[in-house]
Structure 1
Amino acid sequence: MSRKATITQKEIVNAAFKITRKEGFEQITSRKLAAQAGCSTQPIFRIYENMDALKIDVYNKAAAYYEDYYNDSAKTHETPFVDLGLAYIGFAQKYPHLFRLLFISEKDKDTKSMYDLVNGSAENVVKEIGKAQSMGAKNAQQLFMHMWIFIHGAACMAVTGDYDLDEAASVEMLESAYKAFGL
């Protein structure tokens, strides 16, 4: 009679997510994952055929984590895209390995586009574009594209440690960019 499994798929994903958040998904080995999950490597290979299958589940957990992070972030600025940008840059600063997994790694059939991740289930981007239109933006979608390239660049700088602006300076920069791109 075989022994009852004591480790679940959810526990393995949670352990892999912890490693990913701290070190990056590329640093996961079966032994490191087993140690984090408190099991041998056998249950990992019983549940996951390979690391690519595990990566999909970790990716989905990271995507949900980003959506929760955005939903919990303050939304206090009148200028469109500022709160969206602050949350995105803040996530990159606080969770650079998760940011890389979600927004910098190659996309495939099992991952979401950057737009889909940022838009989220609450349609965050759609709301911001609508806000820009209601404030008189001539081409709010194009304005979003300009802002997003700018915001993504700032977030990538945050991941590499080259972005050291505090929130007030970030707000000023994002508001200035909005005005300049809106001309």
Structure 2
Amino acid sequence: MPAIAKVTKEMIIDAAFETVKEMGAENINARTVSQKLGCSTQPVLYHFKTIEDVRIATYKKASEFHINYVTNLSGKYERPMLEVGMRYIQFAVEEKNLFRFLYHSNYCIGISLSDWLTGKNFDFLFPILRKQAKVDEQQAYSIFSQIFLVTHGITSLLANNAMVYDEAYCIKTLSNAYFGAMHLIEEGSLL
């Protein structure tokens, strides 16, 4: 009977995830991960063929963590769309290294913006948005994409320390994006 592995693949991914949170993705390597686990580099290289494979697995974990964070709505804000936007912004403020890993690295490839926005991550929002804004599915997508692009711009600035977080300013900016998109829909000019 083979010996039970003391260090599992999941433990390695968790250690790499913590490394990203604390020090940034550029610090994911066999040495830093093994130090975090209190072991040699051998288990890391046993479970993963390359460090790149560790980074890819860590990216997947970070992406799931991010989506759970953003979509865990509490009702703090008057509109669900506003709360999702504010959660997205707060993630960039609280988890700068994770945000940069997710959106400012070469791991965020292979999916279009449309697919990402309409995928399972946010599918619960569209019926809410359609009902609240009294719009059809295409219009709801247009509103959501406008708000997302504004929100992502803010989060990128915050995650890279190019802007200081101001909750009131962020709320006003996201509200302006929402109501601006609604106005364009009423005029029939929002794509």
TM-score tier after normalising by the smaller chain length: 0.7 to 0.9
Query: 2:97: which partner in 1?
Result: 97
Identity across matched positions, percent: 26
The one-letter code sitting in structure 1 at the alignment partner of 2:19 is I
Cα distance, 1:177 vs structure 2: 2.1
User: Is the 1:21–1:98 Cα contact (8 Å) retained in structure 2?
Assistant: yes
1:159 to 2:151 alignment:
no
Question: Residue type of the partner of 2:181?
Answer: F
> RMSD over aligned Cα, in angstroms?
2.9
Deviations 1:120-151 (A, max 9, x none): 54624424542454279993322222221111
- CA separation of 1:20 and 1:165: change in aligned 2, threshold 3 A: closer
Measure how far apart 1:182 and its partner are: 2.4
TM-score (norm 2): 0.79
Relative to structure 1, the CA distance from residue 61 to residue 32 in structure 2 (aligned partners, 3 Å threshold; closer, same or farther) is same
Return closer, same or farther for 1:118/1:140 CA change in 2, 3 Å cut-off: closer
Inter-CA distance 81–104: structure 2 relative to 1 (3 Å threshold): farther
Unpaired segments ≥5 residues, structure 1: none
1:24-75 per-position Cα deviation (integer Å, ceiling 9, x unaligned)? 1211221111111111011111111101211121112112211221243433
What corresponds to 2:40 in structure 1? 40
Whether the 8 Å contact between 1:17 and 1:58 is mirrored in structure 2 is: yes
Secondary structure in 2 aligned to 1:153? Answer: helix
Which amino acid is 2:30 matched to?
A: S
Q: What is the CA–CA distance in structure 2 between the aligned matches of 1:94 and 1:56, rounded to whole Å?
A: 22
Greater mean alpha carbon deviation, residues 50-59 or residues 69-78:
69-78
The runs of at least 4 aligned residues of structure 1 exceeding 6 Å deviation read 135-138
**2-side partners of 1:62 and 1:170: how far apart?**
24
Q: Which residue number in structure 1 is paired with residue 88 of structure 2?
A: 88
Other-structure match for 2:26: 26
TM-score, structure 1 length as denominator?
Answer: 0.82
Alignment correspondent of 2:56: 56
Structure-2 change in CA distance of 1:124 and 1:160 (3 Å): farther
Unaligned runs of 5+ in 2: 184-191
**147-156 or 73-82, which deviates more:** 73-82
- Name which structure has the greater RCO, CA cutoff 8 Å, separation 6+: 1
Matched, 1:173 2:173: yes
Conservation of the 8 A alpha-carbon contact between 1:79 and 1:175: no
Q: Which secondary structure state, in structure 1, belongs to the residue aligned with residue 39 of structure 2?
A: coil
State the alpha-carbon separation in 2 of the partners of residues 158 and 30 from structure 1.
30
Whole-angstrom distance in 2 between the partners of 1:166 and 1:65: 24
Alignment check: 8 A CA contact 1:118 1:124 kept? no
Counterpart residue number, 1:116: 116
* AA aligned opposite 2:38: G
How many residues are aligned here? 181
